[in-house]
Structure 1
Amino acid sequence: MECVFGLVGNDFAIVAADTSAVHSILVHKSNEDKIMILDSHKLIAASGESGDRVQFTEYIQKNVALYQFRNGIPLTTAAAANFTRGELATALRKSLSYLFFLVSTIVNNDIWFFQNPYFVNILLAGYDKETGPSLFYIDYIATLHKVDKGAFGYGSYFSLAMMDRHYHSGMTVEEAIDLVDKCIMEIRSRLVVAPPNFVIKIVDKDGAREYAWRESVKDAAVPLA
């Protein structure tokens, strides 16, 4: 029941995600941070299989850092999004090539590299001095779009509906946070198994950072005997 959503405001972008680590009917933890700080001015929020999500986002983070180390300049948000999309597409196509693995080995004695596709959906937010804030939608089959608002997971049905109703360009931070809270409350009231906690992060000219945590379901007070 993952919920990841984000939007672009006036000179900033905000991303929010649930913090539940779930497998089947079990909740392993409720403080899993699914929004990684990619570099000083980029955030990458991911949903999907836990192993793919952690491994792939760490892989992207280290390669973005490697590019900056080698070249002395950071990737722009658009460049980082295209690199991320390219890595997803490469893994997807290498997995398809495995269909020809046995025939190729027998006929040509070739060795093909097999790689599973990553089952991970990503919202990549960033801020660039030249272009300002931006948000990119990247799904597990390597679709890439620049968007003003986006969402993944079961919570996307409700968060997208709320953002369609209340979002407008040039939102202030206060308006954006209020909309994020509306989305969280809608998920809480509509989703059968709603995640209890959410983390909110923001990126603007001052950098990428954690903004707040939200509890969508508070513990009930235990009555005294």
Structure 2
Amino acid sequence: MIKLTLDFSGILIILLSIENDSIFKLSALRHKEVLLGITGKDFTLIAASKAAMRGATILKASDDKTRALNQHTLMAFSGEAGDTIQFAEYIQANAQLYSMRNNIDLSPSAVAHFVRGELAQSLRSRKPYNVNLLLGGVDPITDKPSLYWLDYLASLAPLPYAAHGYAQYYCLSILDKHHHPDIDFEQGLKVLRMCTDELKRRLPIDFKGMTVKVITKEGIKELDYDDSARIDCP
């Protein structure tokens, strides 16, 4: 006679192990990409790593992880490959549709709250988007720069500087030390160089450089960013 016993504690441990392993994999996936944002006196800088990775494999060395939502608002994204592109293009299409219908662009603050609402709605669905975002821009009316940090749990925070991925471990201390509200463009670019130098020094992976874009009252411009020269932190 075979006696079967059901050990609920063992089943619970197995289920928790599977769930924690999935969370760890998602966390590791999000951290392999680098997003940085810095606001200054009259500008917002957004930087994103160029490497598109799956595991330890680099699939593309010139991936643009940013989307222009209107003339004065830019969004950078990281997360699962399919989710990021679909969500970014969905937000981009809706922001441009609003501009076409109303002959006026949404402000960066309005776009950020719209994005947060879409993430919150998605989070309560069967297939939530696994994306982390930095949204930066300059208000076309007040000329005030702004930067918003959003994550896959629909958290939203306006910040003077922000980071996602590995950058949040190595760069926030540098930004905390060197950033101030009246920083000019040259100083902001120098602080960004300090951050990318620190990432190159600390990380074992090659993120293939950074795509850097600046938002001013004139619009969005991509910079020819060279991070080959080393800058020491004072």
Q: TM-score, normalised by structure 1?
A: 0.84
Structure with higher strand content:
1
Cα distance in 1 for partners of 2:87, 2:69 equals 12
Aligned residues of 1:196 and 1:215 also touching (Cα < 8 A): no
Q: Deviations over 1:120-170 (max 9, x none)?
A: 110100111333110011111000111100000012211212101211111
TM-fit CA distance, 1:193: 1.4
Q: For 1:204, which of 202, 216, 227 is the aligned residue?
A: 216
Q: For 1:149, which of 141, 161, 174 is the aligned residue?
A: 161
Name the counterpart of 2:139: 128
Name the counterpart of 1:49: 80
Q: TM-score, normalised by structure 2?
A: 0.81
Name the counterpart of 2:98: 67
Aligned residue runs from structure 1 range 167-178, under 5 A? 167-178=179-190
Identity fraction in percent: 39
Name the counterpart of 1:83: 114
1:188 matches 2:219: no
TM-fit CA distance, 1:212: 2.4
Q: For 1:14, which of 45, 52, 57 is the aligned residue?
A: 45
Aligned residues of 2:62 and 2:208 also touching (Cα < 8 A): no
TM-fit CA distance, 1:41: 0.7
Aligned residues of 1:203 and 1:209 also touching (Cα < 8 A): yes
Name the counterpart of 2:69: 38
TM-fit CA distance, 1:187: 0.2
> What SS class does the counterpart of residue 212 from structure 1 fall into?
coil
Letter in 2 for 1:87: E
Aligned residues of 2:72 and 2:140 also touching (Cα < 8 A): no
Name the counterpart of 1:139: 151
Aligned residues of 1:3 and 1:152 also touching (Cα < 8 A): yes
Q: Which has the higher contact order (CA 8 A, sep 6+)?
A: 1
Letter in 2 for 1:187: L
TM-fit CA distance, 1:196: 2.3
Aligned residue runs from structure 1 range 207-222, under 5 A? 207-215=219-227
Change (3 A) 1:28 1:215: farther
Letter in 1 for 2:46: V
> What SS class does the counterpart of residue 44 from structure 1 fall into?
strand
RMSD: 1.4
**Where in structure 2 are there 5+ consecutive unaligned residues?**
1-31, 230-234
> What SS class does the counterpart of residue 168 from structure 1 fall into?
coil
**Where in structure 1 are there 5+ consecutive unaligned residues?**
96-115, 218-225
